[in-house]
Amino acid sequence: MMTITLFQRDIVWADPAANQQAAERQMAAAPKSDLYLLPEMWSTGFATQPEGIAESGESSLQWMKRMAQQLDAAIAGSIATEIDGRYYNRFYFVKPTGEVTHYDKRHLFTYGGEHRRYTAGTEKVIVSWRGVRFLLQVCYDLRFPIFARNAAQGEEAYDVALYVASWPTSRREPWDLLLRARAIENQAYVCGVNRIGQDPACTYNGGTCFIDAYGHTLQACPDGKESFITCTLEMEKLNAFRQKFPVLGDRDQSV
């Protein structure tokens, strides 16, 4: 069995060092896990104006590599990243070997102006870790089910969808409903990690949760509190459900 710890936390605005230290304290208090999952733009807060805030060096990525090696686990979460003058909302999945896989957020949040300064990704990214396949998704991606569509087999198939977010309190109900929908329609576990606290634009009250392929919320963090949950993936149970009720084999093949 695989264990995943989801961190619901406040984020210090535009201060990677402070956020690294806070995340490290949470990890030290958490049970031993195979994967530790942080929110969207966990090192700075959700910055639609990234100049002077996005990380042009590799401070937080190097911290993720160090922690992954130290904990013998994968560390994942998105970072506001600047590369050659372009900005990306980049979801890093870092393994203890130092191997890094990344996904650039495909659906930029136009309502908040994210599209004006960030470059959208084009590729769907699935990463394998200790026998489990993970789909990497960021916040607003949750509203677009075709992009997250699962497959019964092949390169498009995954077991767990990871959603990292800075999803505001004012739109909390869609967050709760859509996470369950993505789990049900894709016959997959869903891990949703959302922040708490406040930034210059919004307030956040969490909603971090772990959902099974039936759409049942198995664990959840308390609203508005910095906390974590450690979840166990039961792959035999998931595979048995897929074999008994083979929905994924009937997906629209043109999608």
What whole-number distance in Å separates Cα of residue 255 and Cα of residue 253? 5
Q: Which residue out of 55, 95, 139, 231 is catalytically annotated? A: 139
From 237, 241, 208, 211, select the one nearest 223 (Cα to Cα). Answer: 208
* Strand-pair category, 86-94 with 100-104: antiparallel
What are the residue ranges spanned by the domains of the chain? Answer: 2-250
Give residue 254's pLDDT. 60
Which residue among 40, 95, 209, 231 is the active-site one?
Answer: 40
Q: What is the pLDDT of residue 116?
A: 97
Determine the pLDDT at residue 255. 47
Average pLDDT, 10 consecutive residues per value, the chain (255 residues): 96 98 98 98 97 93 98 98 97 98 98 97 98 98 97 95 98 98 98 98 98 98 98 98 95 71
Q: Does domain 2-250 correspond to CATH entry 3.60.15.10?
A: no
* Alpha helices (H) along the chain: 16-29, 59-71, 114-117, 172-186, 235-244
**Pick from 135, 108, 123, 115: which is nearest to 191 by CA?**
135
**Whether 40 is catalytic:** yes
> Is 32 among the catalytic positions?
no
pLDDT of residue 1: 85
* Active-site residue identified among 55, 105, 209, 221: 105
> Assign residue 77 a region: left if phi > 0, alpha if psi is -120 to 50, beta otherwise?
left
139 as an active site residue: the answer is: yes
